[in-house]
Every structure is written in C-alpha cells, then in structure tokens.
Amino acid sequence: MALILNEEQQLLKETADGFFADKAPVSQLRKLRDDKDETGYSKDLWQEMAEMGFAGLLVDEDNGGTGFGYVGAGVVAEAMGRTLAASPYLASAIVGASVVEAAGSDAQKAELLPAIASGETVVTLAIDETAHHGPEKTALKAEKAGGGYKLSGLKTFVPEGHVADKVIVLARTSGKAGERDGLSLFLVDRKASGLIVDRTVMTDSRNWAKMTFEGVAVGADALMGTEGKGMDALEGALDRARIVVAAELLGISQQCLDMTVQYLQERKQFGVLIGSFQGLQHRAAELFSEIEVSRSAVLKALQVADAGGNVGWFASLAKAKASKTAELATNEAIQMHGGIGMTDEFDIGFYIKRARVLQNLYGGFNYHADRFAALSGY
C-alpha cells in the first residue's frame, strides 16, 4: 500500500479541516474554560460530529458506523488537534469503540456500537491508577460475588469520565499488581451505586475523572472477553488508540509550526521581518523536518492498524515520535513568538497545555521508547 492518503481519505481530511475550523475554533475551548463549563465540551458540536459520521469511523456499517477505519480516524484527530476541538471523540469513538470491538460479546457490541456511532452514548476506558501509565500495574480488584463481580479500588485520569455513560474498567480478577495475567475488563454504568466520580479539571481545560469503586456490584454479563485475559484484548485496542492520540499530537505540532511561520512573516524588529533572521529560519526548518518525519511514523502506524494484527511496535514508534515532536513544536512556538507567546490572550498556551496532556496519555516518550526497545528485542 502506498504510504500516502488515498482519495477518499484526502477528501475526509479536507472535510474535517473545514468542519473544525468552522465549528470548533480555539475560541470555543477558550469559552468553555472561561465559563467553567461542567461538561467540558459542546454537546451540540458532538452531535454535529456524529451527524458527520465522525463518531462512527471505527464502527462497521451494520452497526450504524461508516467503517472508515484508523487512517480516517487519525485524519480527523489531526484536524481536531489543529483547532483543539473538545469532544468525547477520543474517549468514546476511538478508545471506547475499539475496546468494545476487540473485547465485547455480540450482545455488548449490538448494544454499544450503534450508540457510540450515533453519539448518544459516551463510553470511556479506565486503566491507570497512579500518575504513571502502566495497565499491568492495575490493582483494582474484581471479586466473584453473587452471580457476578464486586469491584473495589481506584482509577485516575479517566478521559471524560465525569460525563461518560459507560465505563470500561480494567480490573484484577487474580494475580498481583505488575502481572499481565489476571486482568479482566468490565462494563460498568457510571451511575452504578458505589461508584464515586470526581471531576478533575486538567491543564488543557478538559475534564478527566477520578473514580472510586466502593464494592460496585456488576452482573456476570458485565465481563468483556475472557476472565483473566483482559490484556490480550485490550492491548491491540489500546495500541490503536495510542496511534490516534499521536495523530492529534501531530495536528498540534503542525498548527504550532504554521502559526509560528506566519508570525515570522509579519513581526518586525530591527527594521526587518524577524523571519529573515537565519537563527529563526533554521529553527523553523528543523521543526518542519521533525514534523514531516513524525507524520510518516503516524501514517504508517495508522495503515498497519487498519491492516489488522499486532501493532505494538508501530504504536510505540508513533506515540514516542509524535510526543517528542509535539514537545519541541510547542516549546519552539512560544520561544519564537517572544512575550506574546506567554500571554493567555494568545492561543499558543492552549496548544502546549493540550500537548502535554496527550503526550502523557497512555504512555509518554519514555514509556514508549522503552517498549519500542523491548519489542525490537533489546
């Protein structure tokens, strides 16, 4: 397969770029923040996104989606990164849909996938329990009780966890924290009794949640996939989500470069445009190169994700590279804007904040560089 967007994907890209520039410019996120909006995104926007088919890119047509696949999902995520459009896209349409697809029973799929695709139901995934990503570190317990299970423990940083309708929880049914075996996935209603949800406002003005499970009782049919083998199903879905996160990071980097280049073409000091200074030209050119190289890693990983099978190596490559580049892009963007880059009035601040949150989500550079090395056999 050629490592470029095909015609259909190119068209989707143009549609998405236009849609988000028009419907969800950065000013929307700024307003949500200033209004201290408790949802953290515009429900109208999310509805419109669903109507555009963006909520169902990973859902097959029989279940009401478009089945566009991961390259398409990445293209839309990149467009969202460019304007910082806030929505449960990542939590629900990407992570939620891929985990349901990978681990769900037929009944769970029939119930959830159409509702995800229509935007009606927001599904999110709860994995991490500490400040550092690591699914295997899961300690939250699921004990057999009655005909079902009882969940006790803590989850943190659950994207959109404060508003999600359903939460997919990674829990330990046997073994101890650090072991890959013994983990299982459960589908839990956010309003279930014994589940305490605390909204957490993050640096990027988006909302995550801390979830305390105080003996939350679920039926046997809440189990997704095979008991004790949750990681086998989760890993592929999580890897695909990581690649889509990398695509959103790519959008952020590209937007930072574009804003910076524009500023270099306008701002004058010493009687000349600052873009004529070679010191700045070279920094911009280096950043351009890093972004192009990241773009290749992300597109390759998205294509491999669509092809099916194990994508771990590609996911870690894409997430590591896109994270490192986004760090560079956001830092350089502020520096090359000078004082104005530090002001809240100017938009760059929103980009650096969102970038750090996404860099950290599902494993940052070090996590994925380490995993990349391990998967490469060293």
Partner 1 sequence: MSDLEQFRQETRAWLEDNCPASMRKPAQGEADICWGGRRFEFQSEDQKLWLERMASRGWTVPTWPKEYGGGGLSKDENKILGEEMRRIKARSPLTSFGIWMLGPALLKFGTHEQKLEHLPKIARGEIRWCQGYSEPNAGSDLASLMTKAEDKGDYYLINGQKIWTSYADKADWIFCLVRTDFSATKHTGISFILFDMESEGVSTKPIKLISGYSPFCETFFDDVKADKKNLVGEVNKGWTIAKYLLTHERTGIGDMGLPTPLSAIARDKLGLEDGELADTMLRHQIAEHEIDAASFMFTIERAKDQAKAGGDMGAFSSMLKYYGTELNKDRHELILKVNGSEALEWEGQFSNNGEIARSWLRTKANSIEGGTTEVQLNIIAKRILELPA
Give the nearest distance from C-beta 352 to partner 1 in angstroms: 21
For residue 356, give the nearest of 209, 225, 245 by alpha carbon. 245
Question: What are the phi and psi torsion angles at 365 (to 5°)?
Answer: -55, -50
| Interatomic CA distance for residues 191 and 39, integer angstroms | 16
Which is nearer to partner 1, 220 or 373 (by Cβ)?
Answer: 373
Contact 171, 103 (CB under 8 A): no
**Least distance between partner 1 and beta carbon 142 (Å):** 30
Please name every residue paired with 186 in a beta bridge, in sequence order, or none if there are none.
169, 223
- Shortest Å distance, C-beta 91 to partner 1: 27
Chain residues in the site for partner 1 (CB under 8 A): 2-4, 261, 264-265, 272-273, 275-276, 278, 280-282, 284-286, 288-289, 292-297, 299-300, 317, 320-321, 324, 369-370, 372-374, 376-378
Of 277 and 346, which CB lies nearer to partner 1 in the complex structure? 277
CB of 278 to partner 1, least distance (A): 7
Comparison of 101 and 239: residue with beta carbon closer to partner 1: 239
278-to-254, 256, 267, 339 alpha-carbon distances in Å: 21, 19, 15, 20
CA distances from 64 to 54, 122, 295 (A): 12, 15, 30
Least Å from the CB of residue 282 to partner 1:
5
For the CB of residue 303, give the shortest distance to partner 1 in the complex, in Å.
10
The alpha carbon torsion through 94, 98, 104, 110 (nearest 10 deg) reads 60
Closer by beta carbon to partner 1, 270 or else 378: 378
Q: Of 203 and 281, which has the nearer Cβ to partner 1?
A: 281
CB 87 within 8 A of CB 21: no
Phi first, then psi, for residue 30 (nearest 5°) are: -60, -40
Alpha helices in the chain (DSSP H): 7-23, 26-34, 43-52, 70-83, 97-103, 106-117, 230-266, 278-307, 312-337, 348-360, 365-375
| Least separation in angstroms between CB 321 and partner 1 | 5
Nearer to partner 1, 174 or 376 (CB): 376
**Which CB sits closer to partner 1, 7 or 345?**
7
- Token duo for residue 350: 């929103």
